[in-house]
Amino acid sequence: MTKKLVIKVTAGADAPERCSQAFTVAAVAVASGVEVSLWLTGESSWFALPGRAAEFELPHAAPLPDLIDSILAAGRITLCTQCAARREITEKDVIDGVRIAGAQVFVQEALGDDTQALVY
């Protein structure tokens, strides 16, 4: 039985501690062998773009680009469809490995068997 973790992060540079917590929990879960799906919504949507995570700074926190790399290595990162559209972000704009999907997919993942969902 594989445990799954679905994390929705709504915070970006506007709430750096909450944002960093979401990425850190996702990366630690991936490193622990948990199946992870991280959803970027709201202000965290910008981190789907190349180079944007490198601009994020929070003292005593792991660098966001490193966390993203570790999540993508064994997990999944999804950018919310509506959030992408509001920011005029398309599939050709995002980091390799990031997909764009909507609420229906989020709900399906969050309600899966043996799945825990968290929102930051």
- Print pLDDT tens along the chain (120 aa): 579 999 999 999 999 999 999 999 999 999 999 999 999 999 999 999 999 999 999 999 999 999 999 999 999 999 999 999 999 999 999 999 999 999 999 999 999 999 999 999
Helix (H, G, I), strand (E, B) or coil at 49: coil
CB 7 within 8 A of CB 120: yes
DSSP conformational letter for 12: S
| The token pair that represents 104 in the structure block | 């229906």
The HSE-up count of residue 93 (CA atoms within 13 Å, CB side) is 14
The C-alpha angle with vertex 96 and arms to 10 and 43, in degrees rounded to 5, equals 15
pTM beyond 0.85: yes
